Amino acid sequence: MAAAIRARGLEKRYRTVHALRGVDLEVEQGEFFALLGPNGAGKTTFISILAGLVRATAGRAEVMGHDVVTDYREARRRLGVVPQELVFDPFFTVRETLRIQSGYYGLRRNDAWIDELLHHLGLTGKADTNMRRLSGGMKRRVLVAQALVHRPPVIVLDEPTAGVDVELRQSLWAFIRQLNREGHTILLTTHYLEEAETLCERVAMLKDGHIVALDRTEHLLGADSERRLELRLSPARLPEALKGRLIDCDDDRFCLALPDYGELEAMLAALRLEGIQVEELNVTQADLEDVFLRVMRQP
């Protein structure tokens, strides 16, 4: 079975920027995959190469086994892209826009599916409204619908929830999850790391055009998942016995490693022994944001 997305040695140089420096990536069919990275890391360049909007300087990319340059028509038929920019054609209504987009993919009578898309995206009431008259969030929904008119097996969402209200974000994810359950492969880039954490099975992190982390989401979290005990103490000093566990401290706050809840009692006993009072106590666990920040800080 061909990979949904396969990139080999993908490189892109612009005149002054080296956006991608040899990216190898494989996304299996049916995966819900996150591509994360700070601004300018190369996420959009990567997506644009898949979509044929940008040509790679070196390397190759395939969508469902079809090369995006030499076999571009078959590759594009299998790919639906929700672009990051809020773009629209001001000459047409929502339904016209979706009918035209269907036509580009060679689909003549697509209204049943268009109606379903409108329903899932909460656009039914806006079908005959001109694109110019829609709010930003509504335009975003139409972009999602446009990317899905041809039921592509591979769906790429480039920051789909930027500037979108909570209600739409949730209904959008419910719909995308349903598509994923039906077998569509989803590639997502987002700045909201909690979205990637809850939705995506695997995560790749891009930095300066390199992939710096690539693993299953739970493994990535596991790598950084030592529990931490945050304490505010009075007086603000740490017993000798606990100094080995210190990760971080400022003023009267101390952050200690807590690999096992079983050790909590012994740690508190050590404090009592020295007559140190606990004024505040928190147990925290790393989330994807911590992992992300740690990976991005590495030189």
Partner 1 sequence: MLGFVTLLQKELLRFWKVMLQTVAAPILTALLYLLIFSHVLEEHVQVYPGVSYTAFLMPGLIMMSVLQNAFANASSSLIQSKITGNIVFVLLPPLSYGEFFLAYLLASMARGLMVGLGVGLVGLVFTDLPLAHPVWMLAFALTASAVFSCIGILAGIWADKFDHLAGIQNFLIVPLTFLSGVFYSIHSLPTFWQTISHWNPVFYMIDGFRHGFFGQSDVSPWLGLAVMLPLVLILSALTLLLLRSGYKLRH
Main-chain dihedrals φ then ψ at residue 200, nearest 5 degrees: -100, 140
Beta strand pairing call for 58-63 and 32-36? unpaired
- Minimum Å distance from CB 199 to partner 1? 23
Stretch that binds partner 1, among 104-112, 177-185, 220-228, 247-255 (CB under 8 A): 104-112
- Minimum Å distance from CB 179 to partner 1? 18
- Minimum Å distance from CB 297 to partner 1? 31
Query: Is residue 239 close enough to count as binding partner 1 by CB under 8 A?
Result: no
Mark residues 143-182: x for contact with partner 1 by CB under 8 A, - for none.
Answer: ---x---x--------------------------------
d(CA 242, CA 102): 65
How would DSSP label each residue in 186-215?
EEEE-S-HHHHHHH-SEEEEEETTEEEEEE
Six-digit token pair at 122? Answer: 């909460």
**Locate tokens 């995966």: which residue?**
31
Nearer to partner 1, 79 or 172 (CB): 79
CB 2 within 8 A of CB 41: no
Please count the residues of the chain.
Answer: 299
- Minimum Å distance from CB 8 to partner 1? 20
CB 28 within 8 A of CB 196: no
Query: Is residue 104 close enough to count as binding partner 1 by CB under 8 A?
Result: yes
Query: Is residue 101 close enough to count as binding partner 1 by CB under 8 A?
Result: yes
- Tell which one of 24, 89, 111, 226 touches partner 1 (CB under 8 A): 89
Distance of CA 283 to the CA centre of its chain: 27
Nearer to partner 1, 52 or 239 (CB): 52
Identify the CA nearest to 157 among candidates 292, 25, 11, 35: 35
Helix, strand, or coil (residue 227): strand
Q: Which helix (H) or strand (E) holds 218?
A: helix 217-223
Stretch that binds partner 1, among 1-9, 88-96, 206-214, 234-242 (CB under 8 A): 88-96
Nearer to partner 1, 108 or 297 (CB): 108
Neighbour tally for 183: CB within 10 Å: 9
Count of residues interacting with partner 1 (CB under 8 A)? 33
Stretch that binds partner 1, among 25-33, 105-113, 121-129, 246-254 (CB under 8 A): 105-113
Query: Is residue 76 close enough to count as binding partner 1 by CB under 8 A?
Result: yes
- Tell which one of 17, 58, 91, 283 touches partner 1 (CB under 8 A): 91
Q: How far is CA 64 from CA 20, 83, 185, 196, in A?
A: 22, 20, 10, 23
Query: Is residue 107 close enough to count as binding partner 1 by CB under 8 A?
Result: yes
Query: Is residue 81 close enough to count as binding partner 1 by CB under 8 A?
Result: yes
Query: Is residue 261 close enough to count as binding partner 1 by CB under 8 A?
Result: no
**Locate tokens 């566990």: which residue?**
245
Residues that bind partner 1 (CB under 8 A): 14, 48, 51-55, 72-74, 76-77, 79, 81, 83, 85, 87-92, 100-108, 146, 150
